[in-house]
């Protein structure tokens, strides 16, 4: 006799994960919610994806849906495997993607293992992607909403992970997800989405690396430093290589100084 499917839903307090959970419950699927407590550089720099307000909202949604809700403390592992990985790579002049590493080692390893340990057969997330099974193989596919497709950051998943993966939003567009949240009367219907670099923010990179441009650049790059100090979004680019040409043309002294710090 086949065991009934039990789904753990990765919840963040946002609209996507909340709707994913609500749709599963609406379908009569046994489910429970899990949330990760991630790393933060300090109380003045809380993670934008797991703040106390986010946790309270996720718990409120779980209560409304009538499902259990658990919080897993993953701060130490997240700091080592995602944040430090990103900072070390950045300091070496390469362009690591913290979202992919988070999916590889945190969400689809640590979280999946705990979900299975709690009795789940599958882990569902609010990612915009799809999984299809072809006999004994599972294939990761792009989402119906190509503008929101997140299959790229899930490309690190193998068969062991995909066989347990559910993406309830894979065939929906973002407007349809918002509409579903309103139809289901979820309190997150109009909450803004999390920014891509929510976990490794510009302030955290500066704190973790100890980078203080105004103190470390020589006089020859003071003009570039003045520009940098007014444009903190520089640090939010995790694909620095793609931005190199833009900055090289406009602020060659800044690019030269950044390159010298990485060597």
Supply the pLDDT for residue 212.
Answer: 44
Q: Where are the chain's structural domains?
A: 7-183, 212-262
Supply the pLDDT for residue 99.
Answer: 82
- In CATH, the number for domain 7-183 is 3.40.50.620
Supply the pLDDT for residue 171.
Answer: 97
Q: How far is CA 141 from CA 18, 132, 154, 217, in A?
A: 22, 7, 10, 46
Supply the pLDDT for residue 218.
Answer: 43
Would you say 139 and 163 are in contact if contact means Cβ atoms under 8 Å apart?
Answer: no
Q: How far is CA 175 from CA 171, 181, 182, in A?
A: 12, 10, 11
Supply the pLDDT for residue 81.
Answer: 85
Supply the pLDDT for residue 101.
Answer: 87
Query: Chunked in runs of 10, what are the mean pLDDT values of the chain (263 residues)?
Result: 80 96 97 88 55 91 98 89 80 79 90 96 97 95 94 93 97 96 95 57 53 42 51 48 47 54 45
């Amino acid at each position: 006799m086949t065991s009934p499917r039990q789904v753990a839903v990765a919840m963040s307090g946002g609209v996507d994960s909340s709707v994913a959970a609500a749709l599963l419950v609406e379908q009569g699927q046994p489910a429970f919610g899990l949330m990760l407590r991630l790393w933060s550089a300090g109380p003045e720099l809380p993670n934008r994806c797991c703040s106390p307000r986010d946790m309270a909202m996720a718990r409120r949604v779980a209560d409304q849906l009538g499902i259990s809700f658990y919080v897993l403390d993953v701060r130490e592992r997240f700091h080592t495997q995602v944040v430090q990985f990103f900072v070390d790579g950045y300091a070496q002049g390469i362009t690591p993607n913290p979202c992919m590493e988070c999916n590889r080692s945190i969400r689809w390893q640590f979280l999946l293992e705990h979900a299975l340990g709690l009795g789940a057969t599958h882990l569902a997330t609010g990612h915009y992607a799809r999984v299809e099974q072809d006999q004994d193989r599972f294939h990761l596919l792009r989402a119906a909403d190509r503008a929101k497709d997140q299959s790229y950051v899930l490309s690190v998943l193998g068969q062991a992970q995909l066989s347990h993966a559910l993406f309830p939003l894979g065939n929906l567009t973002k407007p349809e997800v918002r509409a579903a949240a309103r139809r289901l009367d979820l309190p997150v219907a109009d909450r803004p989405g999390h920014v891509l670099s929510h976990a490794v923010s510009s302030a955290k990179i500066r704190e973790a690396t100890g980078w203080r441009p105004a103190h470390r650049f020589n006089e020859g790059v003071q003009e570039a430093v003045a520009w940098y100090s007014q444009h903190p979004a520089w640090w939010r680019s995790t694909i620095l290589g793609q931005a190199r040409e833009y900055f090289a043309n406009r602020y060659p002294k800044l690019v030269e100084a950044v390159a010298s710090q990485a060597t």
